[in-house]
Amino acid sequence: MFFSRRIEHCQVCGTRVEYRIPADDNRERAVCPACQHIHYVNPLNVVGTLPIWEDKVLLCKRNIEPRKGLWTLPAGFMELGETTEEGAVRETDEEAGARIQVLGLYSVLNVVTAGQVHFFYRAKLLDTDFNPGPETMEARLFTQAEIPWDELAFRTVRMTLQNYFDDRREGQFGIHCADIR
């Protein structure tokens, strides 16, 4: 996870930028008065998994801000050079040290105020030998009854878990799309 700082200088030539609406545009952008470079800032994708072992779900206790000490599904920012699914598998390895088989895209959740789109893939754990990375205090399996609902890090994690337990009861897993503001 990382936070973004307001653009003050041109990333191409270093000149202090101006905020204005460029020609043929309808939004304010950071524009360089020297080289005319326009800096666009767009939403980011967060990619992760819902790793399942028998009747249990794998959660990670966050060792970094934001929400340090709270529980999350393994997830993080999508990187260049990978697909959403590859990013989700990479984050599951980095945060939980867990080996999975991906079963399919499970939720696509717009988090508008954060400028993020969260993707979660349903996955089958191949073993229970976890090896959490530095961003995770603890990786642990939870039954539905054991889920720490009041100590979840993100609303998209809560929503994805709720959908999963509902779908499991019904015996059918679709793709869930929702918006959080």
Q: How far is the CB of 9 from a copy of itself (least distance, A)?
A: 4
Reduce the DSSP state of residue 86 to 3 states and report it: helix
78: DSSP letter: -
| Minimum CB distance to a copy of itself smaller for 51 or for 76 | 76
HSE of 4, CA atoms in CB hemisphere, 13 A: 12
One-letter-per-residue 3-state SS of 105-166: EEEEEEEHHHCEEEEEEEEEECCCCCCCCCCEEEEEEECHHHCCHHHECCHHHHHHHHHHHH
| Minimum CB distance to a copy of itself smaller for 12 or for 126 | 12
Return residues touching a copy of itself (CB under 8 A).
2, 4-5, 7-16, 24, 27, 37-45, 77-85, 104-105, 108, 110, 112, 115, 117, 134, 175, 177, 179
Q: How far is the CB of 21 from a copy of itself (least distance, A)?
A: 13
| Minimum CB distance to a copy of itself smaller for 83 or for 143 | 83
Q: How far is the CB of 93 from a copy of itself (least distance, A)?
A: 11
Q: How far is the CB of 54 from a copy of itself (least distance, A)?
A: 26
Task: Please give the Cα distance from 51 to 151 (Å, whole number).
Answer: 18
Task: Please give the Cα distance from 150 to 135 (Å, whole number).
Answer: 21
| Minimum CB distance to a copy of itself smaller for 127 or for 170 | 170
Q: How far is the CB of 177 from a copy of itself (least distance, A)?
A: 5
| Minimum CB distance to a copy of itself smaller for 38 or for 70 | 38
